[in-house]
Structure 1
Amino acid sequence: MRVIISAILLIFVFSNEAIKAAEIELHHNAPDHYIVVQGDTLWSIASRFLKDPWRWPEIWNQNRESMKNPHTVYPGDIIVLEKTAKGNQLKLSDEKAIIKLSPKMRIEKLGAGGIPTIPANKIKPFLSQPLVIEKHALDKAPLVLGSSDNRVILSTGETIYVRDLPHDKGSLWQVFRTSKALMDPDDNNHILGYEAIYLGDVEVKNFATISSVTVTHSVQEILNGDRLIPSPPDRDVDYGPHAPNFAIKGRIISVYGGVAEIGENAIITLNKGIHDGLKEGHVLAVYRKSEVKSPTGETVMLPDERIGLVLVFRVFDKVSYALVTQSSQAIKVLDAVKTP
C-alpha cells in the first residue's frame, strides 16, 4: 500500500555573498535532500544542513515573500539542497514523497499544524516545575496534613487533607517540596535560590478550614508537610531559537535527575538569568575546559572546546533552565556556556 503526500513549493535562496555576510555555514556532509517525517522539528531539520541550526529564522527573514510561515513544513515534504555556480539553494521541492506502509500500520490524518520548532514534549513538563524560590518562600503556602488513615506516604488516587487552602484560586493545585540550594561556582558558591521539587497534582474536593483534595497525579511520594501552589495555565512552548546579541558566560550548576554526565534532551540549570539578560529562546554553546601535563610536568591549559548547544526555555532572576539540543561528547556540571 502506498500513500502519496504532496509537498508545497517553497524556496530559500542563499548567495555565496549572503552566506559569508551572515556567517551561516552548511555542514560539509549536508545531504542533497531530506524527507520530513513525523516527529521532526525545524531545529532537527536545520541541524542536517546548518552548523548553527538555531539560525533558521534568519534564513526565513531573508525570504519573507516566498515563505510566509516556517511552520507550513509538513511530514512528507522534500527539502532539497541545490549547489549551483551562483550559490546554494535550499528549497522545499514540488516533487511528491512516496511513503510505503506495511499492512499492519494504520493511516492517520496529519494534524492541522506544521512541525514545531523544538521538541515541545521534552520541556513542557518543566514549564511549571521545578520552581526557584527564596529559602522560606513555601512556608506560608497551604500545608499537607496527611490522610484520614495516617499514612506517611501519599500517592495517586488518595484523599488527603490540607490546611489554609484559599477558595478563590481554583480547584487545581500542584504539590512541591523545598529541595537543594542552587549555588554559583563563579561567586564563592553564593546561593542563587532554592529549587522546589514538583511532586504531583491534586484537585480540591471540598473547601473548608481543613480542605480535602484528591491526588490526581504523583511523580514522587507526597509527605506530610509538603506545600501546595496553584496550577499555572498551559504555556506556549514553541520558542524562536536565537543567539543572544551580547556576550555572556555562565556555567551549568545542576542537571535534573542528578546524573553525572549529560546528553541530548537533558534538562540543566544555569547560573545566569534575567539579571544577566537571558531570555526564553536564547541558544548558548557549551564549552569544556581541559588541561594536560607537559613533558616537563607543567600543567598546560588547553583552549576551550565547544561540545554542545543548549536552548534556554525558562528564566528566573538569577538562574535559568535549558534543554541540551546537541552534544558531541558527555557534558558535565560546571562546564561553561557562552554566546555561540
Structure 2
Amino acid sequence: MMAQREAVAALPPLARRAAAVLAAAVFALPALAQPVTPGQRATAQQVAQSGVPLSELAPNAPDRYTVKRGDTLWDLSRLFLTSPWRWPELWGMNLQDVRNPHLIYPGQQLVLERDGDRARLRLQQAQGGIDSPPTDTIRVSPRVRIESLADAALPTLQPHLIEPFLAEALIVEEGLLEQAPRIVAAPEHRVLITRGDRVYARGGAETPLMVKARGGDEYRVFRSAVPLRDPVTRKVLGYEAQYLGSALLVRGEDKASVPDRGGDARELPVPATLDIVSARSEMRVGDRLLPAPERQLVSYTPRAPEGAVEGAVVSMYGDSVALAGQNQVVVINKGTADGLASGHVLAILRAGPRIVDRSQPGERSEIKLPNERNGLMMVFRPFERLSYALILETGDGVKVGDRVVNPR
C-alpha cells in the first residue's frame, strides 16, 4: 500500500488527480451495486475475532485454494463452509485482508488455517500475481493505467442465470393486462407472428402508443394472465402473464382522413407500428404490450431471511411441467409482505409420504414420514404476495406443493 501511495505521489498533478478519481470510481461502484448490510458486517466482525468452529467447515474444505475466473462468492462459501448462504462468516474469517467481500479477484489464494477447534481464512496473492513483489531491479516511468477492477471482481452468483427472468417473469394484478395496449393486425393477414415481423397495435383512448424516446421504445409482449393459487388455501395470490417476446415501437398512433362511399371524409384511427425484435413463442392478434422495465442493479447476495418463513412452491416457470431442476425458476407463495427480499435463501423440503404402519402383527395405523430437505433456492424477484426463486441445488427435483423454510 505504501509503494502504491509513493507511485501515485510521483505522478504529475493532472495524472495524480485522474488516478484519484479512477480509484474512487473503481471501489465505490461495487459497494453501491452489492451493499453489505449492518447485520452481515456484525457477523463478519464477530467471526474475525474468534474464527469459526471446525464443525462449520465443509468436510472437504481445502487448505489452500486459488480463485479462478468464473468462481462466485457462493462457490467459495460452499467450498469452505457447510452452509453457502453464511458467506459473512467466510468474510469474517478473512476480514483483515478483504475489506469488501465483493472484491475478490482471480489469482488470489485463500489459505485455511486451523487452530484448535477454530478455523480462520486468510488471503494470499498467488505467485506472479498483480501484487507480487518484483524479483529484479527494473526502471519504471510514471503512467496512468485504466483497468476495470469492478468487472474483474467475483460475482455473488452467475448473473446469466437470473438476468433473462428479470425481463420475462411478471406478476400482475387482476384486469391489468386486459387494459394494456393490444396487437390488432399483422401484414398480409398473418396469423402467427415471430421475430422480424411488423405488427400494428392500439393503446387505450387516454393512453395511445406514442414514441417517447429517440429511436423507439421497447415493449414486452404477453398473453392472458394465469391465476396463481396458494397450494393449501387455493386463494388467488396474483396473476402470471405469459411472456412471448419483445417489440420496438417505431411509429406512434395517429389519425387519418378517409373518404367514405358517399364522398364524405371520415377520420379513422391509425394504429402504432412495432417491429418484433425477439420471440420466445409465436404471437398473434390480441396479445398485449407492456413497457419494458428499466435495467436494475440489484444485489443477489445470498443470505438467510431475518424472520421465520414457511411457504410453498406455487408453480413452475416456463416449460417446466412437473419437476424443476437446478438453475430453473419457480414461484413461491411468499413475497415482500412476508419480509422476503432479493437474495434470501430458503431450504426446500419434500413432504414425507403417508403410509400404513405394518411393522407388527395387527398394526394398521396410518403415519406420515418426516419432511426431508431437498435443496436450496434463492429469491431474486419478489412481489407483494409471490416471489420468483432460482433453484440453487436439488436432489430429486422440485414440484408444486413442496415446502420452503429458513435454511437453518
SS of the aligned residue for 1:205 comes to strand
1:152 aligns with 2:191: yes
- The answer as to whether partners of 1:32 and 1:80 remain within 8 angstroms in 2 is yes
Aligned to 2:396: 329
Pairing partner for 1:294 from 357, 366, 376: 357
The CA deviation at 1:166 is 2.8
- The answer as to whether partners of 1:24 and 1:55 remain within 8 angstroms in 2 is no
TM-score with structure 2 setting the length: 0.71
The structure carrying a bigger strand percent of its residues is: 1
Aligned to 2:305: 244
Name structure 1 gaps, 5 residues minimum: 1-10, 99-108
Aligned to 1:5: none
Structure 1 Cα separation of the partners of residues 48 and 155 of structure 2: 27
Pairing 1:256-275 to 2, within 5 Å after superposition:
256=317, 257-275=319-337
The CA deviation at 1:61 is 5.3
Pairing partner for 1:19 from 31, 52, 56: 52
Structure 2 Cα separation of the partners of residues 19 and 89 of structure 1: 7
TM-score with structure 1 setting the length: 0.85
Structure 2 Cα separation of the partners of residues 65 and 121 of structure 1: 31
Pairing partner for 2:235 from 170, 190, 211: 190
Flag the 1:45–1:65 CA change in 2: closer, same or farther, 3 A.
Answer: closer
Structure 2 Cα separation of the partners of residues 24 and 285 of structure 1: 20
Structure 1 Cα separation of the partners of residues 67 and 364 of structure 2: 53
Flag the 1:34–1:63 CA change in 2: closer, same or farther, 3 A.
Answer: closer
Flag the 1:228–1:249 CA change in 2: closer, same or farther, 3 A.
Answer: same
Pairing 1:169-180 to 2, within 5 Å after superposition:
170=213, 171-180=217-226
- The answer as to whether partners of 1:273 and 1:319 remain within 8 angstroms in 2 is yes
The Cα RMSD (Å) is: 2.6
The CA deviation at 1:30 is 1.8
Flag the 1:133–1:15 CA change in 2: closer, same or farther, 3 A.
Answer: closer
Identity %: 37
- The answer as to whether partners of 1:12 and 1:59 remain within 8 angstroms in 2 is no
Pairing 1:1-340 to 2, within 5 Å after superposition:
18-19=51-52, 25-60=56-91, 64-85=95-116, 87-96=118-127, 112-164=151-203, 165-167=208-210, 170=213, 171-187=217-233, 189-209=234-254, 210-256=271-317, 257-291=319-353, 292-295=355-358, 296-340=363-407
Letter in 2 for 1:240: T
Flag the 1:17–1:49 CA change in 2: closer, same or farther, 3 A.
Answer: same
- The answer as to whether partners of 2:91 and 2:101 remain within 8 angstroms in 1 is yes
Letter in 2 for 1:19: V
Q: Residues 248-270 of structure 1, C-alpha deviation per residue, up to 9 Å, x if partnerless?
A: 10001111123322221110100
The structure carrying a bigger helix percent of its residues is: 2
Q: Which has the higher contact order (CA 8 A, sep 6+)?
A: 1
More deviation, 152-161/163-172: 163-172
SS of the aligned residue for 1:71 comes to coil
- The answer as to whether partners of 1:13 and 1:88 remain within 8 angstroms in 2 is no
